[in-house]
Structure 1
Amino acid sequence: MEEIVIAGIAGRLPESDNLQEFWDNLIQGVDLVTEDDRRWKPGLYGLPARNGKLKEINKFDASFFGVHPKQAHTMDPQLRLLLEVSYEAIVDGGINPSDLRGTKTGVWVGVSGSEAGEAFSRDPEELLGYSMTGCQRAMFANRISYFFDFKGPSLAIDTACSSSLLALENAYKAIYHGQCDAAIVGGVNLLLKPNTSVQFMKLGMLSPDGTCKSFDASGNGYCRSEAACAVLVTKKSMAKRVYATILNAGSNTDGYKEQGVTFPSGEVQQQLLNSLYKEAGIPTNEVEYVEAHGTGTKVGDPQEVNGIVNVFCNSEREPLLIGSTKSNMGHPEPASGLAALAKVILSLEHGVWAPNLHYKNPNPDIPALQDGRIQVVSKPIPVKGGIVGINSFGFGGSNVHVILRPNKKKLSSTESSLPLPRLVQVCGRTQEAVEALIEKSRNLASDASLVNLLNSISGIPPSAMPYRGYTLVGTESDVKEIQQSQTTGRPLWNGDTMERDGP
């Protein structure tokens, strides 16, 4: 069976417009949870004053995505963000989105609610009907399939906090079983009004000080947060870029528990992990790092981590590294699985595990933190290249785990250097975008993979990307040109002939 890989990724995370910003914040130990009135007045209804928020959710290039202005005004900002990050994930994979039109590509989206839909439908006399196509959760996946003309399965998944990682698990299995050749997997969460937060607070789930103190003795609940992420998952033969290989993925459910539906079952979580590693034939001592669900709740952390210890630390081995991105940015609920995946991918790409925040005193209910069998990554630690596991659990008992193998065939900087001056072609919606890409290509001129990716996506139709530009890298020459093209079949210049002598 052909391997299935993570081939592209994009996202918006708290205080981070893209994944490069997110990585810079993670590695610098920035607390991405803030206290301000971008959503509602801090402390309203007795809510925690802090939460994690995206920088910007009020802008959308409706014409680019073929959305009528009337529809755009009543489209959930969550869907607008999903369209954007889905496009970016495909391009990040070095694939021209138009090349996927009509293909058996699936879409799975993890999403739990539409607060915008509730707001748009308050007054029946003002309804236009457009909010149905803009806010129905089915449309979060179906609109993506419609815009890109994907013919594979298209569905939204809601298992609360494990939604987006279950979406990834579903996509992996669909490709594995031949239902589709590739998939876009998305996850999104926005905090548009305080009602949902009030309900979680009344259930006693939220940290009063708005901090996820994962694995710490002072853990007292979780902090709500926003995120929008998308990944491109493909068969390896189709991928132009490989971030990691998915070795296995699976899910199960807690079932009945005497303590109640929201009480987590470490035993059932443990059963899931044992079955997945056994099925994949992976010795558990080969696992280097586990990105835990790690919300920082008094019950959840011990249930999860003690189960992790029973699976991975039952033989002689180096300490198992664990972390939780929720300590850095809060808990984006249905999008949390893909936010965790983004942190893992970024750590693998940069060769260092991003550190947790707010870990000072080990939780006394997790003995392995005291005896050294498990080590919380509280400072940057070099990646050794072992197997990685990711946990994600829904508060109703839906458990998901994904197993990744890092891409060990990554070229070193010397291997990837360009031996000759090379033409780089870029395209964009604006002249400024093309200039920024040209500047980036010059700054990273030795990165052959970047040059190849930019050239691969430069053929996006002018109707979508009307500005075209080129430059030469690997030379002291300052040659560059930018033009606004017309929507005709004739190219502005022929890059193939100019590049025929290149590598």
Structure 2
Amino acid sequence: MAPNILDNKAQEEQITDPSILNGRFLANPPPGEEVCVTGVSGVFPNSEDVHELRHNLFNKIDMVDGDTRRWEPIHPEVPQRTGKIPNIEKFDAGYFGVHHRQANSLDPMVRIFLEKTVEAILDAGLHPSELEGTKTGVFVGSCFSESEKDWFFDNVEPQQFGITGCLRSMIPNRVSYFLKLNGPSHITDTACSSSLYAVENAYSAIRNGICDMAIVGGTNLTLHPFVSLQFARLGVLSQDGCCKSFDATGNGYARSEAVTCILMQKAKDSRRIYAKIVHAKTNCDGYKEQGITYPSGETQKKLLQEFYKECDVDPRSLSFLEAHGTGTKVGDPEEANAIDEVFCTGRDTPLLIGSIKSNLGHTEPASGLCSITKCIIGLEEGVIPPNIHYSKPREGVKALEEGRIKVVSEKIPLQDDRGLMGINSFGFGGGNCHVLLKWNTKVKVNGGEPKDDLPRLVCISGRTEESITSLTDDVNSRKLDAEHVQLLHEIFKKDIESHQYRGYTIASKSGKVKTSLKKYYGERPSLILAFGSFEESWQEQCRHLFVVPVLPQLFIGSTIY
């Protein structure tokens, strides 16, 4: 029925542009076919995971580090403040079955993205083996590897595997290889819009039936000072290492690192939904008199106008817009003027905007997914994370000066119940992308708290003792949530290969009851629940057990003293 309805609507509006018609098809799926973000993971500057990123965003912590560098100060044109992710040297090669020689020749982006992919899958409540043999695509936005010089030209010793370790195609391909996936697997490179282009590629692939689900990533590491030197000479870097998005003192951005990953699934297949992807669309500037790196506000405006026509959403209804917002003297005004014309014409209240680049710098090809992660944090908390380095509107941008656009510089609760967040991402070669997220309208029954008073047993596994304790501590730090416990049950319902530690926690409404862990060597034992005592009769014991739901394949026996 959906295509006929769309065709009738197009005829009524006399739309003949095939691109618009296809966009309408993509943005109007039947129930259950909506594309959703179901798992999120990542490592960010001075943030080991999304939880730490959330803390840093809401506490207005500048994540761009000026105290340590990946190189010595070798050139006066290279800004010394860059955003750096932690633990770049670590990799669990054994878990991924990578030979130590290959592991030592792997680009750090390949290693880290493998780990973050597994985290995103677990975050979605999936056991990794459930993806084996499926039409799951892997789409990664990445521009270039700053470690290629070492492996291809400097470190050419025998028994090194630079070709299979540092080609950027290996970032998605090793994920497909490890998880035994049958979907498309490729790199997207459109400069700074690469990872949001990857989201659009994945969205279209799922809606067109090419994929059942998609792993989408963005990677960027700043490992060589001469790359930063080239950006500095391009005139886009801030010498003070601060990205002052939309501020009057904005003079460029700080380069930064991130490796991010999301899992995208159809609503009907999802166990957890962070947000629905209402629509995703791209276009390109093409020729510009000012030069290939000059951002075209007119082309950005055209993209936004077509986007909201296709998904049939009033652009004035946005709750928040996560802008590209690099803090450059040309980029911010061009983007702000396009935003003003599309979103603010006829709007009654100021449009709230922001840019995560003010908080953690510009992660270039990974920046689009960093913005999506920020928006998901905002949707989950019901609070928009604030920008930093903003005090005065950039001169000449009327929408900012006259108050039609307002940069969020303090935490602000979402002002409406629509939960619509737009995300802009523009590449300096002309690749533009826009994505619209809508929050999950599902409300937890009883706030997730069980209606009964029974404690919940959560059994987990891990590679180290620390992995067990971190998970059990996380469970016990929250109020008892039946849906969260169910996700953990789904993840650990089968063995995860190479997990040598087993543990459990028994959680209740009043807090932790018991936690235990041990190293595991042999075959997994059958689960036996034993009961009995001298104090109570067997009839009384059975009466207590009537409140416990029946579990399949559970042997109940009596203790023998």
Q: Give the TM-score, by structure 1 length.
A: 0.96
| Alpha-carbon spacing, 1:269–1:483, altered in 2? closer, same or farther (3 Å) | same
Q: What is the aligned partner in structure 2 of residue 444 from structure 1?
A: 478
Q: What is the aligned partner in structure 1 of residue 122 from structure 2?
A: 91
Q: Offset of 1:319 from its aligned partner?
A: 1.0
Partners in 2 of 1:86 and 1:299 — Cα distance? Answer: 36
Q: What is the aligned partner in structure 2 of residue 401 from structure 1?
A: 434
Aligned equivalent of 1:161, options 157, 169, 192: 192
Counterparts in 2 of 1:34-113, with a 5 A limit?
34-42=65-73, 44-113=75-144
2:512 counterpart of 1:481: no
| Alpha-carbon spacing, 1:116–1:401, altered in 2? closer, same or farther (3 Å) | same
2:462 counterpart of 1:428: yes
Aligned residues of 1:121 and 1:127 also touching (Cα < 8 A): no
Q: Secondary structure at the match of 1:456?
A: helix
Q: Offset of 1:399 from its aligned partner?
A: 0.3
The one-letter amino acid of 1:485's match is Y
2:313 counterpart of 1:321: no
Q: What is the aligned partner in structure 2 of residue 142 from structure 1?
A: 173
Partners in 2 of 1:21 and 1:168 — Cα distance? Answer: 24
Per-residue CA deviations over 1:456-497 (Å, capped at 9, x if unaligned) read 1113525332212222211667333323334636446689x9
Q: Secondary structure at the match of 2:516?
A: strand
Aligned residues of 1:95 and 1:456 also touching (Cα < 8 A): yes
The one-letter amino acid of 1:287's match is L
Partners in 2 of 1:396 and 1:70 — Cα distance? Answer: 37
| Alpha-carbon spacing, 1:493–1:16, altered in 2? closer, same or farther (3 Å) | farther
Q: What is the aligned partner in structure 2 of residue 466 from structure 1?
A: 500
Q: Which moved more, 1:342-351 or 1:295-304?
A: 342-351
Q: Secondary structure at the match of 1:34?
A: coil
RMSD of aligned alpha carbons: 2.0
Per-residue CA deviations over 1:150-197 (Å, capped at 9, x if unaligned) read 110100111110000000110000000000110000001001111110
Aligned residues of 2:501 and 2:519 also touching (Cα < 8 A): yes
Q: Secondary structure at the match of 1:465?
A: coil
The one-letter amino acid of 1:180's match is C
The one-letter amino acid of 1:390's match is I
| Alpha-carbon spacing, 1:43–1:296, altered in 2? closer, same or farther (3 Å) | farther
2:47 counterpart of 1:12: no
Partners in 2 of 1:396 and 1:186 — Cα distance? Answer: 20
| Alpha-carbon spacing, 1:428–1:45, altered in 2? closer, same or farther (3 Å) | same
Q: Secondary structure at the match of 2:191?
A: coil
Per-residue CA deviations over 1:237-282 (Å, capped at 9, x if unaligned) read 1111100000100100000000000000011011111111100110
2:367 counterpart of 1:336: yes
Partners in 2 of 1:160 and 1:116 — Cα distance? Answer: 18
Q: Offset of 1:127 from its aligned partner?
A: 5.2
Counterparts in 2 of 1:96-495, with a 5 A limit?
96-123=127-154, 125-126=156-157, 128=159, 130-383=161-414, 384-385=416-417, 386-411=419-444, 414-417=447-450, 419=452, 420-474=454-508, 478-486=513-521, 488=523, 490-491=525-526
Partners in 2 of 1:40 and 1:484 — Cα distance? Answer: 41
The one-letter amino acid of 1:57's match is I
The one-letter amino acid of 2:372's match is L
Q: Offset of 1:422 from its aligned partner?
A: 1.5
| Alpha-carbon spacing, 1:448–1:238, altered in 2? closer, same or farther (3 Å) | same
Partners in 1 of 2:171 and 2:511 — Cα distance? Answer: 47
| Alpha-carbon spacing, 1:459–1:401, altered in 2? closer, same or farther (3 Å) | same
Aligned equivalent of 1:25, options 56, 60, 64: 56
Q: Offset of 1:316 from its aligned partner?
A: 3.3
Partners in 1 of 2:450 and 2:412 — Cα distance? Answer: 27
Q: Secondary structure at the match of 1:94?
A: coil
Q: Offset of 1:450 from its aligned partner?
A: 1.8
Q: Give the TM-score, by structure 2 length.
A: 0.86
| Alpha-carbon spacing, 1:458–1:353, altered in 2? closer, same or farther (3 Å) | same
Partners in 2 of 1:94 and 1:228 — Cα distance? Answer: 21
| Alpha-carbon spacing, 1:162–1:99, altered in 2? closer, same or farther (3 Å) | same
Q: Offset of 1:345 from its aligned partner?
A: 0.5
Q: Offset of 1:346 from its aligned partner?
A: 0.7
- Of the two, which has the highest radius of gyration? 2
The one-letter amino acid of 2:483's match is S
The one-letter amino acid of 1:297's match is T
The one-letter amino acid of 2:335's match is E
Aligned residues of 2:69 and 2:82 also touching (Cα < 8 A): no
| Alpha-carbon spacing, 1:418–1:228, altered in 2? closer, same or farther (3 Å) | farther
Identity %: 48
Number of residue-to-residue matches in the alignment: 501
The one-letter amino acid of 2:421's match is V
5+ residue gaps in structure 1?
Answer: none
Q: Offset of 1:416 from its aligned partner?
A: 3.7
Aligned residues of 1:323 and 1:377 also touching (Cα < 8 A): yes
Aligned residues of 1:222 and 1:297 also touching (Cα < 8 A): yes
Q: Secondary structure at the match of 2:93?
A: coil
Aligned residues of 1:422 and 1:499 also touching (Cα < 8 A): no
Aligned residues of 2:105 and 2:160 also touching (Cα < 8 A): no
The one-letter amino acid of 2:343's match is F
